[in-house]
Chain A
C-alpha cells in the first residue's frame, strides 16, 4: 500500500473518480492551468483537458449555482472554493438552491464542494475558518471532514458518488503534515465515525485537525478513546452514544468557534440520550468566539492546543 500525504490522497481520489466516471469534472479558481492554489489538481488539465478541469471566473455564487445547473442535467461537478472562507459568497446558492431542491422539487443535486478549511499557520481571519456549522443548520447538505490521508481519499470518493450536495472539508494544516497508507483503487469511506484510538476511561470526540491534537494530548493518559467523527451530516449518533456508554466521560473538541459549533450538537445529543451513561459533565474545548487572528501568539492562544485538550481530559478523568 502506498504512503502519501493527505493532499496527495485527495488528488488520488479525485483523479480516480474522474478516470472512472466521465460525468465528473472539476471547477474552481486557478485549478486548471495553475493546478490549484494548493496544487491538488496539479497536472490534471494535461490528463483531462480544460473542459473537465475548468478555470472559472472569480465568482463563488457562480461556481455553486452553475454546478447545480450542471448536476441536474446529469453531470457530477466537483467545485472548489479556494478557501472555505469564501463559501460565504456562495451561501445562497448552496443553502437555498442546492440544499432545498430535493425536498421541494424531488430533484437530486449531486454536487461536491471542496472546502480547504482550518487554521494554524497565520492565515488570518479570512483564510482560517471552519464554516461547517453554518451548513449543518441547512437541511439538505451533507458535510464530511477527514483527518487521515486514507479518509481524505475515501470520503472524497463517497462525496462525489453521493446524489446530494456534499461539502468536503479538507483541512489545510493537514495537507502536507499528515501522511498515511492509502489503499489503491477507488474505495469509498462510509460517512460514519471511526475510533482513532480505543479506550474506556474517557472519550474525546472531534474531527479534522483536532483529531491529531487529541491523539497527541492524550497519548500519555491511560485508556482515553479518541472518536473521529469524519461526518457531521449525517452525524454518527450511534457511534457517539456507544462511546458514551463505554467511557462515560466526554470531552468534545472544536477548532471552529465555540458558539453552536458541531460539538455543541454532539453535546446536546449526549446530554439528552446519553444521560444515564455519564459519569461527569460534558466538557467542551473550542476556539473562543473571535475571528482567527493572524499573529502567531494570538492564533496559538485561541486554537485548541495540545496542552488545553490534555488539561481538560486530565481534570475530567479525575472527576
Chain B
C-alpha cells in the first residue's frame, strides 16, 4: 500500500499489508543504500511477514534519501521505511533532505481528514423539545420515573442538559444534596381526622359572603378541625417539652449508604427506645391509661397550606429502617393525593414530626391525643463538639419530646431521650 504525497518530491516507501490479517512486517534486507538511484518497480528491499517473504518494488523513480527502518526491525503495516526524492535525475548528487513538511502518509489518512462524514449522523439527538419549549417542559422517562419515586417537583430542579433539559444526573444530584426523599413534613402539630359532630356543621356559617377583594376569609374546615384538636390537646394535657442533643455521625453515614433520609433511621431508633420505655407508647383518655405493646407510629405529613395529617404505620416495630422508609414514602404520597383510608389515620400510639429541612433546630410540638408523647426532629447541623477533650466537627441535632405530665414524669421523658440518643449514636444497621 505505497502512497504518494502530491506536492513534495519526496515519496514514502511504506510497509505493505501482505494479507488481510497481517499487521506487521520485518525488513529482511535493504537492496539499496541512501544516495543510490532506484527505478520505479525495482526491488528496494526484502520484507518478511509470518505468511510470506517478498521483494518490495520501489513506488517511484528517484534517489533513496533516507532509510528510516533498518534491516531486522519489525514495524506495523503502513510504517514509512524509507523515502525517495523524485526531484533529482540519475547521476546528480543527491539534494538536501527534508523538503517541506511531510504530507499525510497515506491517501487514506488524507482522504479521511478531508472526507465529508457519511450521511448517517450518529445523532438523531437534536432534541425536538427545543422547538416546543413554551409552556410544557419535556422530561425523559427515567427522570419522570425518579420524580415519581422520590416525589420530586421537577420544576424545582435546574437542568444542565441541552436546552436546559433536566437530566438523570441533575435529579441524582438533587437527591444527593438532600432534597429529602419525601417532601417537607409539617412544622406544626399533628391533626387527627375524625368525623365531624353533626352540631358542629350547624355552627358553620352557611350564608355565602359577598365577594370583596379585602374581605376576611373563613378558615377551611380542615384548618378549623386541626385548630380544635390542637386547642383541646393544649387545654387538657399537661404538656411539657424536654430536649436532648445527639451526634448523627453514624446516622448520616447510614443515610448515604442506604440512600435513605434520616427520618426512617431515627424512627427505628425511637421504636427501640419505646420498647425500653413503654410508658411513652400509651393512650390517656380521661382517667383511662392504656399502655400498648405494639408501636403504631404516626408520621406527621404536611399538606401545604391546607394543613396536615398524620398517617399511621401500624406495627412499625416489625419493620426495618428500609421498611419504614418505604411505608413513609408511600403514606406521604397518598396523603397528599388524598388517598388515605380511615384506618390509616387511626390508632397511632406515638407520633414523630420532622420539619427539619427548613433549618429550625428546636420546637415545642403539641401532643397528638390520646397519645402521651410526641417526638420532634429538627435540622442536622455541623457543629464543633468536644470529644475526648479535643474539638471535632460532628453533624448534631436536637431531639424534642413533648410529653403529658398527667401520665408520666420528666425523668422518664429524659430517660427515653437518653435511650433514643444512645441508639442513634451507636447505629450499626439494626
Contact = CB atoms under 8 A, between A and B. Distances in A.
Given A121-B20, A177-B23, A296-B107, A278 B142 contact: yes
7 contacts: A121-B20, A248-B140, A296-B107, A308-B117, A309-B122, A316-B123, A319-B167
Lowest 5 A-B CB distances belong to which pairs?
A312-B122, A297-B111, A296-B108, A175-B21, A279-B168
Residue from B107, B124, B125, B143 having most chain A Cβ neighbours under 10 A: B125
A302 interface: yes
B140 A280 contact: yes
Given A297-B112, A315-B122, A277 B117 contact: no
B222 interface: no
Nearest to B115: A301
B22 interface: yes
A172 B20 contact: yes
Interface string B107-133: 110011001011110111101000000
A302 B125 CA distance: 20
B127 A319 contact: yes
Interface string B145-158: 10000000000000
A39 B19 CA distance: 12
Interface residues of B, number: 36
Nearest to A313: B122
A22 interface: no
A288 B120 contact: yes
B23 A127 contact: no
Q: Identify the interface centre among A127, A296, A302, A305: most chain B CB within 10 Å of its CB.
A: A296
A315 B161 CA distance: 11
A281 B108 CA distance: 33
Contact of A297 (B20, B22, B115, B125): B115
Nearest to A120: B20
Interface in A28-62: 38-39
B111 A123 contact: no
B125 A176 contact: no
A127 B20 contact: yes
Interface of A: 7, 38-39, 121-123, 127, 172-173, 175-177, 201, 248, 251, 258, 275-281, 283-286, 288, 296-297, 300-302, 305, 308-309, 311-312, 315-316, 318-319
A302 B168 contact: no
Nearest to B168: A279
A300 B140 contact: no
B32 interface: no
Contacts of B115: 297, 300-301
A277 B162 contact: no
B122 A251 contact: yes
B23 A176 contact: yes
B111 A296 contact: yes
A173 B145 CA distance: 43
Choose among A251, A279, A283, A315 the residue with the greatest number of B CB atoms under 10 Å from its CB: A279
A258 B122 CA distance: 12
B162 A319 contact: yes
A205 B20 CA distance: 26
Most buried by A among B21, B23, B143: B21
A208 to B, nearest CB: 14
Contacts of B106: 296
B141 interface: yes
B165 interface: yes
A220 to B, nearest CB: 17
B103 to A, nearest CB: 15
A277 B168 CA distance: 9
Given A248-B168, A279-B140, A315-B122, A301 B112 contact: yes
Contacts of A279: 140-143, 167-168
Nearest to A303: B118
Q: Is the interface of B mostly helix, strand, loop or mixed?
A: loop
A281 B141 contact: no
Interface of B: 1, 17, 20-24, 50-51, 106-108, 111-112, 115, 117-120, 122-125, 127, 140-145, 161-162, 165, 167-169
Nearest to A178: B23
A39 B125 contact: no
B107 A281 contact: no
B141 A275 contact: yes
B168 to A, nearest CB: 4
A300 B21 contact: no
Contacts of B144: 276
Nearest to B165: A319
A105 B369 CA distance: 75
A277 B141 contact: yes
A288 B118 contact: yes
Nearest to A309: B122
Nearest to A284: B122
B140 A278 contact: yes
Contacts of A248: 140, 142, 168
Nearest to B167: A279
A172 B22 CA distance: 10
Contact of A302 (B21, B51, B118, B143): B118
Nearest to B163: A319
B167 to A, nearest CB: 6
Given A122-B1, A283-B124, A301-B118, 15 more contacts: A39-B50, A121-B21, A172-B21, A175-B21, A201-B169, A248-B168, A251-B122, A280-B140, A283-B122, A288-B118, A308-B122, A309-B122, A311-B123, A318-B162, A319-B127
A39 B51 contact: yes
B262 to A, nearest CB: 26
Contacts of A283: 122-125
B111 A318 contact: no
A52 B274 CA distance: 79
B419 to A, nearest CB: 41
Nearest to A247: B168
A305 to B, nearest CB: 8
Given A176-B23, A279-B143, A308-B117, A315 B111 contact: no
Given A121-B20, A288-B120, A315 B140 contact: no
Given A276-B142, A279-B168, A316 B125 contact: yes
A150 B428 CA distance: 43
A276 B144 CA distance: 8
A306 to B, nearest CB: 11
Nearest to B77: A121
A195 B145 CA distance: 26
Contact of A286 (B108, B120, B145, B168): B120
B122 A300 contact: no
A318 B161 contact: yes
Contacts of B112: 297, 300-301, 305
Contacts of B22: 176
A87 B125 CA distance: 37
